Amino acid sequence: MAEISTLGEFGLIRRLTKDIELKNTETLKGVGDDCAVLNFGSKEHDVLVTTDLLMEGVHFDLTYMPLKHLGYKAAQVNFSDVYAMGGTPKQITVSLALGRRFTVEGMDEFYEGLRLACDAHGVDIVGGDTTSSRTGLAISITCIGMVEKGKAILRSGAHPTDLICVSGDLGAAYMGLQLLEREKQVYYQQLEEARRKDPKATLDFQPDFAGREYLLERQMRPEARKDIVEKLRSAGIRPTSMMDVSDGLSSELLHICHESGVGCRVYEERIPLDYQTAVMAEELNMNVTTCALNGGEDYELLFTVPLTDHEKIEQLEGIRLIGHVTEPSLGAALITRDGQEFQLQAQGWQAFS
């Protein structure tokens, strides 16, 4: 019997879904992109569907993640998948499995965060399921969106010579997570020491987040990039392929290369980094490029545009050109600051590692 970890998340999904044939004319695109694309007879809009399942202890840690932030983030990460198709999120369903220690007030907080996110993006909460859990919290959100008919931006449309662009900056959410984990360790160490002297000791602990607010915000309060989709639209730029950066830039670039049947060259020096990300990486003795490539949870948009859009893209604030699409034979390469070439590897967040 093979263990799941031998395949990894993407390997497992591929195995389970590889020979699925689509039966319905209402299904335009099934498994394999940020959203499925459906149409039920509308001449104006296609329907987008995406879903996420978040498990306590795997995707979030309630010791430092307030429920309000968790609700906010759980909604945003689903909106991000809809924007990654060039669409607009319209509805979500929210299913929760609650452990015994959850209180009604806790759930009110979760919903407060959820609603904040929904209000900001014009999304309706239209249904869901609430049940109990023998163990931790499980959150499943499905987001329904819409996109102009036939205009969903897939991962499969990149062509050689296209420019590769990314919004915002990368690696900060991962650094935020490292910071939270470090302070959690410090807290438990101090608590243990205090309890060695007095077994009933409590701790008035103040985590040290000074000057790191941006990293925390990126980890705890991500914002789906609706603004980027709108900016591209008003600039008359239509990406040839797009996806959101949830598992890490490396992993996402490989998805686009695989789905489009192309290669890519991206330049280390062009990967957008925030100052706090760089400082934190140095402090933790980590390579900041590795964090940006493999950290994940950035929820930025990665997309390709035709070479002819070069000037238009350069004029847009908050978008960085990081490389270009190549023939598939060249593979997916990272060119380092000193001119060396490495093949990209999907070391991103591995759900089964």
Instruction: Please list every residue from 71 through 110 that binds a second copy, using CB under 8 A.
Output: 90-91, 93, 95-98, 100, 102-108
> Which range touches a second copy (CB under 8 A), out of 115-123, 312-320, 322-330, 336-344?
115-123
Answer yes or no: are the C-beta atoms of 349 and 296 closer than 8 Å. Answer: yes
> Which range touches a second copy (CB under 8 A), out of 131-139, 260-268, 278-286, 326-334?
131-139
- Report which DSSP code applies to 20: P
Q: Tell which one of 73, 79, 83, 142 touches a second copy (CB under 8 A).
A: 142
Q: How far is the CB of 307 from a second copy (least distance, A)?
A: 32
Beta-ladder partners of 324: 163, 265
Q: How many CA atoms lie within 13 A of 207 on its CB side?
A: 19
Beta carbon nearer to a second copy, 104 or 210: 104
Q: For the segment 16-45, give every residue that binds a second copy (CB under 8 A).
A: 16-17, 20, 22-24, 26-27, 29-31, 35-36, 38, 40-45
Answer yes or no: are the C-beta atoms of 328 and 321 closer than 8 Å. Answer: no
Q: Does 211 bind a second copy (CB under 8 A)?
A: no
Q: How far is the CB of 174 from a second copy (least distance, A)?
A: 18
Beta carbon nearer to a second copy, 29 or 184: 29
Q: How far is the CB of 253 from a second copy (least distance, A)?
A: 21
Kindly give, in sequence order, each residue whose CB lies less than 8 Å from that of residue 54, ignoring residues fewer than 6 positions away. Answer: 60, 74, 138, 139, 140, 141
Beta carbon nearer to a second copy, 98 or 344: 98
Q: What whole-number distance in Å separates Cα of residue 51 and Cα of residue 302?
A: 20
Burial profile 108-122: b = 16 or more Cβ within 10 angstroms, e = fewer: ebbbebbbbbbeebe
Beta carbon nearer to a second copy, 25 or 285: 25
Q: What whole-number distance in Å separates Cα of residue 83 and Cα of residue 256?
A: 16
Beta carbon nearer to a second copy, 137 or 281: 137
Q: For the segment 292-321, give every residue that binds a second copy (CB under 8 A).
A: none
Q: What whole-number distance in Å separates Cα of residue 58 and Cα of residue 216?
A: 18
Q: Read off the amino acid at residue 6.
A: T
Q: What whole-number distance in Å separates Cα of residue 308 and Cα of residue 237?
A: 10
Give me the helix-helix angle, 104-121 and 67-83, nearest 10°.
Answer: 30
Q: Does 150 bind a second copy (CB under 8 A)?
A: no
Q: How far is the CB of 60 from a second copy (least distance, A)?
A: 12
Q: Does 124 bind a second copy (CB under 8 A)?
A: yes
How many CB atoms sit inside 10 A of residue 326's CB?
A: 18
Q: Does 210 bind a second copy (CB under 8 A)?
A: no
Q: Does 120 bind a second copy (CB under 8 A)?
A: no
